[in-house]
Amino acid sequence: MSDAPDASDAPEVRAPVVTPVRVVIALCLIAPFVAMLWVGSYAKVDPALAGIPFFYWYQMLWVFLSTALTMIAYKLWQRDQRARTSRDGGASA
């Protein structure tokens, strides 16, 4: 009986859960919530855009910004998952 460790005793090396890409993904998803919940930042009439008060066009702008940020987060997530899958040798997590 040998006390030498074998390969099965070695701890499994896993990629970190919090990575810079995942932080960017989180920021892309959180930004619209912060922008819309901070009402004091846009609860005003001026500057008007084509006669539309700031309060309304700012919120409509965030509809498009939210869509773009969600799409960016999704694409980054897909890229992150492909990288993790290829790094793990195709094994499912």
- Res 78: pLDDT: 95
67, 90 Cβ separation under 8 angstroms: no
49, 57 Cβ separation under 8 angstroms: yes
- Res 50: pLDDT: 93
74, 24 Cβ separation under 8 angstroms: no
- Res 29: pLDDT: 96
Domain boundaries, the chain: 36-81
Alpha-carbon distance of 52 to 12, in angstroms, equals 58
CA nearest to 29, candidates 79, 68, 78: 68
> Tens of pLDDT along 7-62?
566 676 666 788 899 999 999 999 999 999 999 988 899 999 999 999 999 999 99
